[in-house]
Amino acid sequence: MSAADSPPPGAIGRDPGDAWVESPDGRRYWGRFGAAGLLAHDPQRGVLLQHRVGWSHFGGTWGIPGGAIQQGETAVDGALREAAEESGAPRASLVLQRTSVLDLGIWSYTTVLAAVREPFEPVIADAESLELRWVPIDEVEAMPLHPGFGGSWPALRAMLAEPLTLLVDGANVVGSRPDGWWRDRVGAAERLAAALGGLAGDGLPAASLGVGGAHAWPSIELVLEGAARPAAEREVPGLVQHAAPADGDGALVELARERIAEGRRVVTVTADRGLRERLAAAGASVVGPSTLLDLLG
């Protein structure tokens, strides 16, 4: 649900979050701790939309499964829970991509964008939906959309069109911090890989990558070269590792070109000036190692 919705029958009092927030001008917003919804995208079928029941505000329009965030719950967890309750969307089938937040000060709505990893059929699981449907991207604007979703759709569509890849220049990042890495290059590379695996699960502020949205979960790929290459043999969940057959710079540029050709937006982490120029020419953007290291802590 979104701003000014009527709550579902029996919803009030179910959780402290199931309550209205009223603005000074008298407008009401459902969700004491804010609200959140899931925009699931299946590349083959489009986005999952919900035809809203008539008793809800703007009943009969189309939006995304969502509702009030519960006490102690994150916006992402709230969106995933609501989507599971309203449409049967399985968490295991979804890959988080980005969040977009409408913050009104007294109330906020978080849209969680996720790619569908394993196709699923939505199931109407409560009284809040007339219909659930996969709608091709190009057909969304032609539908009678809930005004809140309709207003945010252009920006959300742009994010869906640009899945993110973060390419990390392992040698440059490791070498930017004098922590004794030269005594054990493999160990230093393994520590970086483990930290990147954690970052893949937690995500990072979208602004740190220079992209839109509030939070982002890019696909992370680490390129290792020279004496550090054996570290790539150690599997790290959430991380793709590459042992460069020759120089790491060439491998990074080639990977950037490949991912861009796949329709992805590529951000690379390196401080190497010559490499930065080659990456920019390939169409990738670049951030320095300090940005990444600050995020890793």
How far is the C-alpha of 184 from the C-alpha of 176, rounded, in Å? 15
pLDDT digits (tens, 9 = 90+) for 68-106: 999 999 999 999 999 999 999 999 999 999 999 999 999
16: tokens are 């402290």
Amino acid at 209: L
- List domains and CATH numbers for the chain: 20-160 (3.90.79.10), 164-296 (3.40.50)
100: tokens are 């977009």
Q: Taking a C-beta distance cutoff of 8 angstroms, is the pair 164, 264 a contact?
A: yes
Over pLDDT 90: what percentage of the chain? 85
How far is the C-alpha of 220 from the C-alpha of 296, rounded, in Å? 13
Local structure of residue 66 (DSSP, 8 states): E
**β-pair type (219-224, 28-30):** unpaired
- This model's pTM is above 0.85: yes
pLDDT digits (tens, 9 = 90+) for 123-177: 998 888 899 999 999 999 999 999 999 999 999 999 999 999 999 999 999 999 9
pLDDT digits (tens, 9 = 90+) for 240-259: 999 999 889 999 999 999 99
